[in-house]
Amino acid sequence: MSLVLAERLERIKPSPSVTANALVAQLRAAGREIVNFTVGEPDLDTPAHVIDAAIEAMRAGDTHYSPSAGTPAVRQAVVDKLKRDNDLSFSVDEVVVGVGGKHIIYHAMAATLNAGDEVIVPAPYWVSYPDIVLLNDATPKIVVCDESSAFKLTPEALEAAITPATRWLMLNSPSNPTGAVYSKSELNALAEVLRKHSHVYVMSDEIYEHFVFGNAKHLSLLNVAPDLKSRTLIVNGVSKGYAMTGWRIGFGAGPQDLIKAIVKLISQTTTCPSSVSQAAAVAAFSGDQKPVHSMAERYAARRKLMLEGVESIPGLRCLAPEGAFYLYVDVSGLIGKTTPDGAKLESDADIVLYWLETAGVAGIGGEAYGLSPYVRFSFATNEQEIEQGCRLLTEACQALR
């Protein structure tokens, strides 16, 4: 008898970014040289003092279960970080630490959504938002935010999307995949709409907060609308800012009743985060912040390098990202062109495949993020890879007819 899978699995697809990176690994294992612009992961190392803290914790015997909400030490470190970096005041009871930011988002949705509920998801979106909503029996309400609004949700679009069934708004700033950063005035305008709809909660995903460029400045919604604190969940973690993706530590800061519900679910799913990773996170949040600033400077230089490279390629155009470490490249100038093998490029998926097969450069098509024809490139890779990738893309695009 064959295994009968749950119907909910039919609603979702594997993570496109994880799938794309796995394909790159497979091609490299087969001997192909691939420039990988798919992965949203810092290529830089975890700061040394963080690693030292983990080793010290292990040697001290800190290798056991912790409270499901996280250790008192790491939750206090989160509270202190929010005050220091974000000028936001939370208590330890308003913080939960989980196995990455995605873990917190999933459990928040599982704790609050029922069949028939809706979640507003501005597009382009991080690939997991809609599928997490679908897994929890609700409906993602996709609101397309194109270049005319710099890929940001406008108050008019938000107002039009809200219904009595709306439970959450997903707000991601700085944004994956576009690098959009909401300004104070833009957040204020969204807050004005939200104040009229008290049944709508806000998931404020701020995982890329440390990486902003030019005149942009990261602000939380709660910096401009503290009155919305009772229905806002801030999600963040150590993965991006501290180059700690593999340590799997994220946190949520929000209303105490929501935090309790998330902790209850964690107690019956993953039990608790890794004790060693929590000790490392304490050192990350509480220790020397110079490595974070150094990484931000490195990404700013890479952003400049990749923007210059991409903008010099025929058929490509890109709105300069204000944050995160991605370019969301408009490839409409290549649609309709023909490859040297005679194939017609009809979508961003076709273009991604052509670049991979012909140039050995991997990106992710805009369909995965809810807005085509675009391709997301990550510049969280070294300068040599960026230069080589742009050279190979130039050659591949020049070969089109």
Digit-coded pLDDT (tens) for 21-78: 788 888 888 888 999 999 889 999 999 999 999 999 999 999 999 999 999 999 999 9
Residue after which a domain boundary falls, among 288, 306, 328: 288
Q: Is the pLDDT of residue 149 over 90?
A: yes
- Quick one: 190 and 146 in the same domain? yes
- Quick one: 23 and 83 in the same domain? no
Query: Mean pLDDT throughout 199-214?
Result: 98
Per-residue model confidence (pLDDT) at position 72: 98
Query: Mean pLDDT throughout 156-162?
Result: 98
Per-residue model confidence (pLDDT) at position 280: 98
Q: Is the pLDDT of residue 301 over 80?
A: yes
**Angle, nearest 10°, between helix axes 256-268 and 101-112?**
100
Per-residue model confidence (pLDDT) at position 213: 97
Q: Does the residue 2 lie in any domain?
A: no
- Quick one: 284 and 295 in the same domain? no
pTM for the model stands at 0.96
Cα separation, 148 vs 241, in Å, equals 29
- Quick one: 372 and 277 in the same domain? no
Per-residue model confidence (pLDDT) at position 247: 98
- Quick one: 19 and 105 in the same domain? no
Query: Mean pLDDT throughout 148-167?
Result: 98
Lowest mean pLDDT among 10-24, 132-146, 296-310: 10-24
At 194, which CATH number?
A: 3.40.640.10
Q: Does the residue 299 lie in any domain?
A: yes
Per-residue model confidence (pLDDT) at position 173: 98
Q: Domain total for the chain? A: 2
Per-residue model confidence (pLDDT) at position 39: 86
> What digits encode the pLDDT tens for the residues 342-354?
999 999 999 999 9
Cα separation, 248 vs 359, in Å, equals 33
Cα separation, 332 vs 336, in Å, equals 9
Residue after which a domain boundary falls, among 288, 312, 337: 288
Contact predicate 91/79, CB 8 Å? yes
Per-residue model confidence (pLDDT) at position 18: 80
Q: Is the pLDDT of residue 2 over 90?
A: no
Phi then psi for residue 378, to 5 deg, are -95, 135
- Quick one: 181 and 158 in the same domain? yes
Contact predicate 370/144, CB 8 Å? yes
89 lies in which domain range? 48-288
- Quick one: 385 and 262 in the same domain? no
- Quick one: 217 and 356 in the same domain? no
Per-residue model confidence (pLDDT) at position 24: 84
Q: Is the pLDDT of residue 1 over 80?
A: no
Cα separation, 304 vs 289, in Å, equals 24
Query: Mean pLDDT throughout 100-113?
Result: 98
Per-residue model confidence (pLDDT) at position 6: 92
Helix (H, G, I), strand (E, B), or coil: what is residue 206?
coil
Q: Does the residue 249 lie in any domain?
A: yes
- Quick one: 40 and 58 in the same domain? no
Query: Mean pLDDT throughout 265-271?
Result: 98
221 burial level (CB within 10 Å; 0-12, 13-18, 19+): buried
- Quick one: 39 and 160 in the same domain? no
- Quick one: 24 and 66 in the same domain? no
Query: Mean pLDDT throughout 304-331?
Result: 97
Which helix (H) or strand (E) element contains residue 398? helix 383-398
Residue after which a domain boundary falls, among 232, 255, 288: 288
